[in-house]
Protein backbone atom coordinates (compact mmCIF):
# COMPACT_ATOMS: atom_id res chain seq x y z
CA UNK A 1 0.00 0.00 0.00
CA UNK A 2 2.88 2.35 0.79
CA UNK A 3 4.36 1.43 -2.60
CA UNK A 4 1.16 2.51 -4.36
CA UNK A 5 -0.03 5.42 -2.19
CA UNK A 6 3.37 6.57 -0.82
CA UNK A 7 1.72 7.06 2.57
CA UNK A 8 -0.64 5.41 5.05
CA UNK A 9 -3.91 6.92 6.32
CA UNK A 10 -5.86 6.36 9.50
CA UNK A 11 -8.47 4.28 7.67
CA UNK A 12 -5.74 1.80 6.69
CA UNK A 13 -5.72 0.59 10.29
CA UNK A 14 -8.80 -1.45 9.26
CA UNK A 15 -6.37 -3.77 7.47
CA UNK A 16 -4.63 -4.50 10.77
CA UNK A 17 -7.99 -5.24 12.42
CA UNK A 18 -8.76 -7.65 9.57
CA UNK A 19 -5.36 -9.32 10.03
CA UNK A 20 -6.11 -9.71 13.74
CA UNK A 21 -9.41 -11.43 12.94
CA UNK A 22 -7.66 -13.68 10.42
CA UNK A 23 -5.21 -14.62 13.17
CA UNK A 24 -8.12 -15.44 15.50
CA UNK A 25 -9.65 -17.60 12.76
CA UNK A 26 -6.34 -19.41 12.30
CA UNK A 27 -6.11 -20.03 16.06
CA UNK A 28 -9.54 -21.65 15.86
CA UNK A 29 -8.41 -23.82 12.93
CA UNK A 30 -5.32 -24.91 14.90
CA UNK A 31 -7.57 -25.89 17.83
CA UNK A 32 -9.81 -27.89 15.47
CA UNK A 33 -6.86 -29.63 13.81
CA UNK A 34 -5.47 -30.51 17.25
CA UNK A 35 -8.85 -31.93 18.27
CA UNK A 36 -9.09 -34.09 15.15
CA UNK A 37 -5.47 -35.21 15.28
CA UNK A 38 -6.11 -36.52 18.82
CA UNK A 39 -8.42 -39.29 17.63
CA UNK A 40 -7.85 -39.87 13.91
CA UNK A 41 -5.02 -40.37 11.44
CA UNK A 42 -3.25 -37.22 10.13
CA UNK A 43 -4.82 -37.51 6.66
CA UNK A 44 -8.34 -37.76 8.04
CA UNK A 45 -7.62 -34.93 10.47
CA UNK A 46 -6.57 -32.70 7.55
CA UNK A 47 -9.72 -33.64 5.62
CA UNK A 48 -11.99 -33.02 8.62
CA UNK A 49 -10.38 -29.66 9.38
CA UNK A 50 -10.52 -28.45 5.78
CA UNK A 51 -14.10 -29.71 5.50
CA UNK A 52 -15.13 -27.88 8.64
CA UNK A 53 -13.37 -24.76 7.38
CA UNK A 54 -15.31 -24.84 4.12
CA UNK A 55 -18.60 -25.41 5.95
CA UNK A 56 -17.65 -22.63 8.40
CA UNK A 57 -17.39 -20.19 5.51
CA UNK A 58 -21.04 -20.81 4.61
CA UNK A 59 -22.61 -20.86 8.07
CA UNK A 60 -24.54 -17.66 7.35
CA UNK A 61 -26.10 -19.22 4.25
CA UNK A 62 -26.96 -22.32 6.26
CA UNK A 63 -28.76 -20.11 8.79
CA UNK A 64 -30.66 -18.22 6.09
CA UNK A 65 -31.88 -21.25 4.16
CA UNK A 66 -35.42 -20.90 2.78
CA UNK A 67 -37.00 -22.72 5.71
CA UNK A 68 -40.59 -22.18 4.51
CA UNK A 69 -40.10 -24.65 1.64
CA UNK A 70 -38.29 -27.22 3.79
CA UNK A 71 -39.36 -29.92 6.17
CA UNK A 72 -39.67 -28.30 9.66
CA UNK A 73 -37.36 -30.92 11.16
CA UNK A 74 -34.75 -30.24 8.49
CA UNK A 75 -35.07 -26.49 9.03
CA UNK A 76 -34.57 -26.95 12.78
CA UNK A 77 -31.57 -29.19 12.11
CA UNK A 78 -29.84 -26.71 9.76
CA UNK A 79 -30.46 -23.86 12.22
CA UNK A 80 -29.07 -25.96 15.07
CA UNK A 81 -26.09 -26.92 12.92
CA UNK A 82 -25.41 -23.30 11.99
CA UNK A 83 -25.19 -22.39 15.68
CA UNK A 84 -22.96 -25.38 16.43
CA UNK A 85 -20.42 -24.72 13.66
CA UNK A 86 -17.95 -21.83 13.81
CA UNK A 87 -18.56 -18.85 11.54
CA UNK A 88 -15.26 -18.46 9.71
CA UNK A 89 -16.24 -15.81 7.21
CA UNK A 90 -14.41 -12.54 7.59
CA UNK A 91 -15.57 -9.23 6.14
CA UNK A 92 -12.94 -8.04 3.73
CA UNK A 93 -11.27 -4.77 4.65
CA UNK A 94 -10.69 -2.07 2.10
CA UNK A 95 -10.69 1.69 1.90
CA UNK A 96 -14.34 1.82 0.90
CA UNK A 97 -15.58 -1.06 2.95
CA UNK A 98 -13.66 -0.05 6.05
CA UNK A 99 -16.06 2.78 6.74
CA UNK A 100 -19.11 0.84 5.63
CA UNK A 101 -18.63 -2.23 7.76
CA UNK A 102 -16.04 -1.12 10.29
CA UNK A 103 -18.45 -1.25 13.21
CA UNK A 104 -19.42 -4.82 12.40
CA UNK A 105 -15.85 -6.03 12.05
CA UNK A 106 -14.67 -4.60 15.36
CA UNK A 107 -17.66 -6.04 17.16
CA UNK A 108 -16.31 -7.31 20.52
CA UNK A 109 -19.05 -9.96 20.63
CA UNK A 110 -17.63 -11.59 17.50
CA UNK A 111 -14.19 -11.58 19.09
CA UNK A 112 -15.56 -13.11 22.33
CA UNK A 113 -17.44 -15.82 20.43
CA UNK A 114 -14.26 -16.93 18.62
CA UNK A 115 -12.21 -16.99 21.83
CA UNK A 116 -14.88 -18.95 23.72
CA UNK A 117 -15.31 -21.39 20.80
CA UNK A 118 -11.55 -21.87 20.71
CA UNK A 119 -11.49 -22.56 24.48
CA UNK A 120 -14.32 -25.12 24.15
CA UNK A 121 -12.58 -26.94 21.27
CA UNK A 122 -9.29 -26.99 23.19
CA UNK A 123 -11.04 -28.37 26.29
CA UNK A 124 -12.59 -31.12 24.16
CA UNK A 125 -9.17 -31.86 22.61
CA UNK A 126 -7.58 -32.05 26.08
CA UNK A 127 -10.36 -34.38 27.28
CA UNK A 128 -9.90 -36.70 24.27
CA UNK A 129 -6.12 -36.65 24.54
CA UNK A 130 -6.22 -37.37 28.29
CA UNK A 131 -8.30 -40.51 27.68
CA UNK A 132 -6.33 -41.65 24.63
CA UNK A 133 -4.57 -44.98 24.96
CA UNK A 134 -0.98 -44.27 23.91
CA UNK A 135 0.27 -47.87 24.13
Where do contacts with other proteins occur on this chain (CB under 8 A)?
1-5, 8, 12, 15-16, 18-19, 22-23, 25-27, 29-31, 33-34, 36-38, 41-42, 45-46, 49-50, 53, 90, 92-97, 122, 125-126, 129-130, 132, 134
Round to whole Å and give the CA distance between 89 and 113.
13
Q: What is the DSSP string of 66-127?
A: -GGGS-HHHHHHHHHHHHHS-----PPP-HHHHHHHHHHHT-HHHHHHHHHHHHHHHHHHHH
Least distance (Å) from other proteins to the CB of residue 54? Answer: 10
Round to whole Å and give the CA distance between 63 and 59.
6
- In the complex with other proteins, the residue whose CB is nearer, 6 or 72, is 6
- In the complex with other proteins, the residue whose CB is nearer, 71 or 130, is 130
- In the complex with other proteins, the residue whose CB is nearer, 7 or 71, is 7
- Spatial contact of 21 and 29, defined as CB atoms under 8 Å apart: no
Least distance (Å) from other proteins to the CB of residue 31? Answer: 6
Least distance (Å) from other proteins to the CB of residue 94? Answer: 4
- In the complex with other proteins, the residue whose CB is nearer, 13 or 81, is 13
Round to whole Å and give the CA distance between 41 and 21.
29
Amino acid sequence: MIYVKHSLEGSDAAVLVAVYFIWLKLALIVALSLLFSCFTTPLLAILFTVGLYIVGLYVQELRNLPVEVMNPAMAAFTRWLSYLLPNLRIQRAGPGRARASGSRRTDPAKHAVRVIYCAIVLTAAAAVFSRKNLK
